Amino acid sequence: MSADTLQKVFKTLSDPTRVRILALLAREELAVQELMAVLGMAQSRVSRHLGILREAGLVSDRRDGTFVFYRFQEPASPAWGDAWSLVERSLAEDPATRRDAVAVARVLEARAARSRSFFDEVGPEWDALRKVFGDDMLRARAIARLVPPGLRVADVGTGTGVLALELAEAGLEVIAVDHSSAMLDAARRKIDEQAATGLELRQGDAAALPLVDGEVDAAFAHMVLQYLASPHEALAEMARIVRPGGRVVVIDFVRHDREWMREELGVQWLGFPPDEIRGALAEAGLSDVRLDVQPPAAQGADLPETFIASATRSSPAPSGVPS
């Protein structure tokens, strides 16, 4: 390693705020405003540190409408990698790091609360709004990926239960989960009206699904990821609740720039780049990842493209063979 590189590594990592920022971003992707709240610092200071870290190749950024989100980036060079592992190990015992972790949990809760209050207000009106999110063809394709019938599936973020009812109709046993009691009430009313069977409603968060490991053969999330505080966490949860060999199916918008959707539809994220979804599914321990992009649901309307992604949870290694 050259003396210049060594000096740069030490200089960058010698600042406690920069180290705190790196530790935070290694845990969660955060916007500048969220970092300001966690660190209790002004924008100019946070942005200056982020600039230095980006220049060192330790953070990457991503625009989501008018927000810019930052995340930790594994250092490409061994010099940076070694230095960061050393710092990271020493942070495990650091009380400030533990306090920051609590503050990040509060930021994620604030993201989740925004979505909860939107859906608690919308309730049954959702059926009119949801037309923006998809068409029957997409749902039918999603179901087709799950044949044969008789499987037990989870519908994560079930809303008013439209997809859950379709899945039950197709002969699947459905556990429908949502964190909003208004949405679950609306779903319950619909199930009663249709005297539908094979559905169970459970209230819970996508980041901590109320299902045990491997409880279902497949898990769906239709237009839900864009509402979540941490979509990565939810994908990991979906991977956890499917049995080995089971499938995770996610339908959502491809990255777009329709800012109006934040206000009018309460979304947290303006869609997702397909590569990010492929990466997140693989990171969740899923394999055989497939992703197709579909044109906008309503023809002629100014709507984004939709993606449908599916992936399989690998079978566990045969006994005696470490996985």
Ligand X SMILES: C[S@@+](CC[C@H](N)C(=O)[O-])C[C@H]1O[C@@H](n2cnc3c(N)ncnc32)[C@H](O)[C@@H]1O
Residue ranges binding ligand X (CB under 6 A): 112, 115, 119, 130, 133, 157-159, 162-163, 178-180, 183, 205-206, 222-224, 227-228
Distance in Å, CB of 232 to ligand X, minimum? 13
Determine contact, residues 119/140, Cβ cutoff 8 Å.
no
Q: Kindly give the residue spans of alpha helices, DSSP state H, lying in the chain.
A: 3-13, 16-27, 32-39, 43-55, 78-91, 95-122, 126-129, 136-144, 162-169, 181-194, 231-241, 260-265, 274-283
Chain-centre distance for alpha carbon 97: 23
Q: Considering the complex, what minimum distance in angstroms separates the CB of residue 121 from ligand X? A: 11
Report the nearest approach of ligand X to the CB of residue 245 (Å). 24
212/321 with CB nearer ligand X: 212
Nearer to ligand X, 10 or 260 (CB): 260
Q: Is 215 exposed, middle or buried (0-12, 13-18, 19+ CB in 10 A)?
A: middle
Residue closer to ligand X (CB basis): 12 or 160: 160
- Minimum CB–partner distance for residue 206 and ligand X (Å): 4
Return contacts of 30-34, CB within 8 angstroms, 24+ apart. 30/69, 30/70, 30/71, 30/104, 30/107, 31/67, 31/68, 31/69, 31/70, 32/68, 32/70, 33/67, 34/107
Antiparallel, parallel or unpaired: β 152-156 and 173-178: parallel
Q: Smallest distance, Å, CB 66 to ligand X?
A: 21
3-class SS at 165?
helix
Look up tokens 């869609």; give the residue: 271
Q: Which is nearer to ligand X, 163 or 277 (CB)?
A: 163
Between residues 146 and 224, which has the closer beta carbon with respect to ligand X? 224
Q: Which CB sits closer to ligand X, 88 or 200?
A: 200
Beta 199-203 vs 173-178: how paired, if at all? Answer: parallel
Which residue number places its CB atom closest to ligand X?
159
- Residue 252 CB, nearest approach to ligand X (Å): 9
Residue whose CB is less far from ligand X, 54 or 202: 202
The size of the chain, in residues, is 323
Angle at 268 between CA 23 and CA 74, to 5 degrees: 30
Q: Shortest approach of ligand X to residue 209 CB, angstroms?
A: 8
